Amino acid sequence: MQKESNIYLDLKYGNRNRVFNQIREAGSISSSALSYELQLSRPTIKQNVDELMGMGLIYESGTFGHTGGRRAKAYSIVKKNKVAVGIDLTKNHVTTIVIDLSGDLIYEKRVRLAFSQEDNYKRELGRLVEEAIKAQDIENDAVMGVGIAVPGLITEDQQKVFYGEILKFTGMTAEELGKYIPYPCRLYNDADAGGYAEISQSEELTDAFYISLSNNIGGSILIDHKVYKGESPRSGEIGHMTVLPGGGECYCGQQGCFEVYCNATILSGQYEGDLAMFFQQLDEGEEKCRAIWKEYLHYLSIAVNNIRMLFDCKVILGGYVGAHLEKYMDELKRLATERNTFEDNADYLRVCKVKKDALALGSALPFIHEFWKTL
Ligand SMILES: [Zn+2]
């Protein structure tokens, strides 16, 4: 995983916190380097290093230097001291991941499992989590929690789906879904999880709008490395922006929603759900694919330009389609620029960095990031 942003080295946190996060970022570091980097005295460093060792969060991982005299001890964090589990739950699949105290991915498994509200389904979720923990030989009390990304809108306390038309599971709670998961569970809106994973990996960015172009469309507003939830809270629901008044019918009951024209099944549906096959055929110049793609980019350019006008920030394209977009960015940028009132380019557009497991990752990372702050 790429380096996390430096926000956790902020002066507003205490010295123990800063020492921990410096060791985490460095991977392996000596006391004198810690003292230099953090501008703290040697005794202060020693006191905090001793405390962190006592908590089992760091260990002596080796020594530095080889030119006579005493070698300096190297410190590293105990990565499996704390872990978090992320689950990405969709209509037909479940992805389970585990990340360690560094935020690094240490386990990933995707299985085909059709969503259902039956007990068997919940039991299987519990089994998948247990399997993930056992595979990594992790102590049960090291698991801080399980974040579950779902295609639905989630209450502020992250315990209930208050709009779940896609899976027809409005009213589902974290407690029900996690009935067989022996750890604290939280729900996440899928696009918000994807956006959070993305902004966590983008050191130079503090604000952005993330679009999840998967079998459904979602969006996430990221301000100062956090998801802006809105008052309802259902911010960023760009899937239901109107891009064609009186247009095609959306599952939400409205007409002409962005969702209708740019969800990934518009493309993958041509090849029985095989999105990679669509792009392969497109590259080979298959005429029908080119026509579909042209219309897809047309509506996508309307949406991204609207977002740019509204937020004046970077727009990140993620989800299933985002992972294939790199090659077609020039074309999309050209179309978006044609609509732009103020700019003669669309360099605000980016393809997502996290191509795989973004939603599961974004549901697990908050547990780890919260822990980094609490020390
Ligand atoms: Zn709609």
> Tens of pLDDT along 64-81?
876 566 788 999 999 999
In the structure, ligand 1 is a single-atom ion and the residues with CB under 5 Å from it are 240, 250, 252, 254, 257, 259
Same domain? 278 vs 343: yes
Ligand 1 centroid, distance to 347 Cα (angstroms): 28
Lowest mean pLDDT among 4-8, 79-83, 227-231, 353-357: 4-8
Say yes or no to pLDDT of 2 above 80: no
The answer to the question of residue 170 being in a domain is yes
Residue 3 has pLDDT above 50, yes or no: no
Residues 248 and 314 in one domain: yes
Alpha helices in the chain (DSSP H): 15-26, 31-38, 42-54, 119-135, 174-177, 190-200, 258-262, 265-268, 275-283, 287-311, 319-322, 329-339, 358-374
* Local structure of 206: helix, strand or coil: coil
The verdict on 64 and 158 lying in the same domain is no
For residue 36, give the CATH number of its domain.
1.10.10.10
What would the mean pLDDT of 158-187 be, rounded to a whole number? 97
The mean pLDDT value of the chain amounts to: 94
Residue 207 shares a structural domain with residue 346? yes
Please list, in sequence order, all residues whose beta carbon lies within 8 angstroms of the beta carbon of residue 203, skipping any fewer than 6 positions away: 2, 3, 4, 5, 6
CATH number at residue 339: 3.30.420.40
Residues 45 and 124 in one domain: no
**What is the C-alpha to C-alpha distance for residues 16 and 196, in angstroms, rounded to an integer?**
26
Does residue 49 sit within a domain?
A: yes
299 and 226 belong to one structural domain: yes
Q: Does residue 286 sit within a domain?
A: yes
Looking at the fold, whether 177 and 252 belong to one and the same domain comes out as no
Position 342 in a domain: yes
- What total of structural domains would you count in the chain? 3
The pLDDT, as a whole number, for residue 170 is: 97
Question: What's the pLDDT at 140?
Answer: 83
Last residue of a domain, one of 57, 77, 97: 77
58 belongs to a structural domain: yes
Cα 314 to averaged position of ligand 1 atoms, centre (Å) = 24
Q: What is the pLDDT of residue 10?
A: 62
> Are residues 98 and 32 located together in one domain of the fold?
no
Mean pLDDT for the stretch of residues 8-33: 87
Domain membership of residue 183 as a residue range: 81-195+358-374
Confidence band for 4, pLDDT divided at 50, 70 and 90: very low
Say how far apart CA 332 and CA 346 lie, in whole Å. 9
Q: 209 and 337 share a domain? A: yes
Domain end position, chosen among 55, 77, 99? 77
Residues 56 and 99 in one domain: no
Q: Do residue 22 and residue 53 come from a single domain?
A: yes
Residue 328 has pLDDT above 90, yes or no: yes
Query: In angstroms, what is the span from residue 217 Cα to ligand 1's centroid?
Result: 10
pTM for this model (two decimals): 0.91
What phi and psi values does residue 325 have, to the nearest 5 degrees? -80, -20
Examine residue 100 and state whether it is found in any structural domain, yes or no.
yes
- As a whole number of angstroms, the distance between CA 173 and CA 157 comes to 11
Instruction: Average the pLDDT over 136-140 and give the result.
Output: 87
CA of 201 to the centre of ligand 1 (A): 30
Separation of CA 260 and ligand 1 centre (Å): 7
Percent of the chain scoring above 90 in pLDDT: 89
Stretch 276-296: mean pLDDT, rounded?
Answer: 97
Residues 287 and 365 in one domain: no
Residue 1 lies in a domain: no
Q: Considering the domain boundaries, does residue 122 fall inside one?
A: yes
**% the chain with pLDDT above 70:** 96
Domain boundary (77, 108, 124) is at 77
